[in-house]
Structure 1
Amino acid sequence: MELDDFVAIRKDLLKIKKNDSNLFGEIARLTERQIILLQKLEDCIAEIKDINKKLYLPDQLHTLKNKKIFIQFAIGEIPNYFESFSDFIINNKYSFDLDKFYIYDEKVSDSENLEHPLMQAYLTNINFIAFLCEIADNKNSTAGNLTLYFHKVNRSLKLPIDYNYDDLKSSNLKEMSKFIEDIKNGIHKEDRKKLFVNNLADFSSSRDNKYSSIIKEWIIINENYTHSFNIYLEGFSFEKIKTSSIEHFQELSEKINETIRKVSNYLFAIPVAFVFLTSRLDYENSSLPKNISLMFLGYLFTFIIWEIFFKNIKESLDSIKEEINRYEDKIKNVKDLRGIKSQLENLKDISLQNQYKKLKTLKVVTFLIVLILTLAVCFIYLTEIIKISNQFFLFLKSILNI
C-alpha cells in the first residue's frame, strides 16, 4: 500500500467527515482509475456502500463503476498520512524523522510545499526542543509526554513540553535558528547556556511554566537573553553587577545629597541677602539714587541667581535623573537586582522629585522677595510717582487736544 495512492484517492473524496480513527467520504462517479487505487488500499478500507447502503468488498468495485459510492477509511492504517496539521503535531510533537509523509489540509509533504511557513515554524520548534533536551539537567518521558528539568541555585525549572496547532500558528520564532547556532558554535558556550537558562527560568515562572508561552513570546525571551549576554560581554558577572549597582546607587545618592545641600544653602542665603538689601533702603531721607541703586542691585542679584545658580542646580538634577534612567535600562532584565531597581525608582520618584519641588519653591520665594523690594521702593516714592504720573497724563492730554 502506497501513501501516494491514498493521497490520490483522498483528493477525489467529497463530503468528508472524520473522527479519531476513521475518514468518511463519497465518490460521485466511480472511475476505473479510482477502482485500481481503492483495490491497492484494501487493507485500510473499513467499509464500501452504494446509494442503497449495500456493502461491497474492494474486489467487487467493478460492479459499481460509474456509480456513486460511500467509503470509510481506517486512517490509522495509512502510515505517515495526516488529515490536518494538528494531527501531524500530535503524532510528531517532540521529534521529526519521517522520510515520507503527507499533511492534507496544508498540502505539505516530503516533496511538496516544505517552505510552508507553518512547516518551517514546526521544524524550527523541533530543533529548539532538541536543543533544550541537550542543555536540560534531567528529562522525563512517560506516557508519551516529555518534561525537562533545569536546576538553578535555590530554584528549579520544571518545563513540560506541550503545545498544539494554535500555539505554533501564533508563534513568532524569528531568529530562533540563529540563536541555537550561536550558542552551540559561538564563544563562551557554557556561559551562554547558563545565561539562557537563567532568562528562561525567569520568563517561565511568570507564565506558569508553559512551553506554549515560550514559542509564542520567543522574541521577548531572545531580547532578554541578548541583553544579559551583552552585559556579560562587558566583563560583568551577576555578582559584579550587584557590586557595581550598589556602588553606583551610593554615588547617585551622594550627588542628590550634595544638590540638597546647595538648595538648602540658597534657601537661607537668598532671603537673608534680600532682607539686607531691604534694610539698607533709606526710608527717612528718601535718597533716590541710593534706593534705586539698591533696587537694581536686587534685580542684578536675582538675574545672577536665576541664570547661574538655579540653572546649575536644575542641570545637576537633570543629569542625575538621566544617569538613573540609563542605569535602570542597563539592569532592567536582571531579575537578581530587583532590590537595586526598587531603590533607584525611589531615588528618582521621591528624593529627586522633592529636590525639583524645593527648587521650584526657591524660585517662587526669590520672585516674591524681588517683588516686595520693588513695592517697598515704590512706596517710599509713592508721592513722587503719583506727581510724575499726573504730569505725564496732563502732557499726554495736551498733545491729544492739539
Structure 2
Amino acid sequence: MQLSEPEEPVLKSPVAGAVAGVLAGAVAGGLVVLLRSRDYDYASVHIAIQIGAFLLAPLLAFNFVLSVLYLRRNVPSVSHAWIWGPIVIVLSVAFAMNGTAEIKRRNAEADHPRIREIHVNLSGYTIRFDPAGQGVDTRGRINIPGDPPGEFVERTRYFADDDRMAIYAKARLVPSFREMQVSRESLSAEQVAVLPVSQRAEAFPNIEGFMKYLSFQGSEATVITYWYFHYPDRVDVVPAIDLSGSQTMDLSGHDVSLVEFHIANLGRLPIARLEVDGETLALGSAAIPTEQADGNGCVNRNHAGYAINPLSGAIKVRWQLGQANPAWHEAVVYVPPFRSGERTRGRIRSTSVDLYFESHGKVVAERSQEIDLPLGKMGIRTTGPSRPLASPPPCGYASDRYTEDVVVIQD
C-alpha cells in the first residue's frame, strides 16, 4: 500500500493577513490625505516620502511574503482579499479623486484661461499695484518706473484657487471691474489712490472671422492681449489682437480682412499708444522708438500690430507719445489702393499698411501685400507711400523690409 504525502494544513481563519492589509491601507490612505490636504508642497512631499519608505514599503513587502505563504498553505481566497483589498480600495479612490480634480481643473481653465496683459505707465509716477486690481498686494504686485514715461511691463495671469482673476470672465473683462487701487511714489511720500477704470465692451475686436482657421482651436484669450494704460487720474483697459508667428501662418491665404500695421516713427518721442479706427494695436514689448538705421534699429519696423479693417477708405489714426499724461494726436490717413485692384497672379499671404509718423504730426500710409508667385518665389506688391515724405525714412519703405530675393511689384 502506497502512502501519500501529507497535505499542507488549511488555515481556517488567519487574522495576520487582515491586520496587515488594513494597516497598509490605512497608511496609504493617510498618505493620500496628507498630499491632497497640503497641496503637494515641499514639506508634505518630504514627509510622504519618509512614511512611504520606512512604513508603507515594509508593510507591502510583508504582505507579499504573507501572500506567498498563504498560497502554499491553501488559505481561502477571502484572506488574500483582506491582504490587498484595502490597498486596492485606497488606490481606486485616489485615482477617482485625481480624475475628478483634473476635470475640475480643466473646467476652471476653460472658464479662466491664461490672460496676457501689458501695463503702460503714462502717469508720470513710479506705480505699484496688485495685478488683480483689487488692492496693493505685496506678494505679487507689479512695479513700473515712471521715468522715462511710457514704460511697458508684460504679465501673464493664471487662474489660482484664490481667484485672483475675478476681473475676467473667460477672455472678457467683467462689467463690475471699475476701479483699481494703485500705489504711486511722489516727492513727499508714497500715496495710495483708488483710480477709476475705463473699459468699453464694444472695443473687443471682431475675431470670429478668423478663429476657425487657426490650427489650435483655443479660446479668445489665445489671440488677445489686454492693454492697461495708467494715467494720473484713471486706468484705460482695452483688448488688442496679438498673434503668434504660427497663428499668422495659419491665416495665410485666407480672406479675413486682417491687416498688419507696421509703424515707422519719424518723430522725436516714442509712440506708446496707437488706435486705427478705434481699434487698439498691440505695439509689442516697448513703446515704438524713433526710427534709426544704426544697429538693430530697423527691427521694430518688422513688428506687426493687427486690426480687422476692410481698408475701404481713409482710416482714422489716434496715438499718444511716451509722455506723462499725454494728449491724443489724430489724423485721417488716406490708404492708397492698388491700381490693378485685388487681381494678382499669385496667392495673397497677407495685407499690410506701413504708417509713417512724420515729425510735424502728419501720417502717410503705404499699402502692400505678400504674394506667393509661381516657381516657389515670393513677391511684395506695394503702392508706395500715398504722398512723398518730408525726408526718406531711415529704414526705407515697405519693400525694404524684405531681402533681395523677394520680387518687388510696384502697383
TM-score normalised by length of structure 1 = 0.26
TM-score normalised by length of structure 2 = 0.25
Which one has more relative contact order, counting CA pairs under 8 Å at least 6 apart?
Answer: 2
Q: Which has the higher strand share?
A: 2
Q: Which has the larger radius of gyration?
A: 1
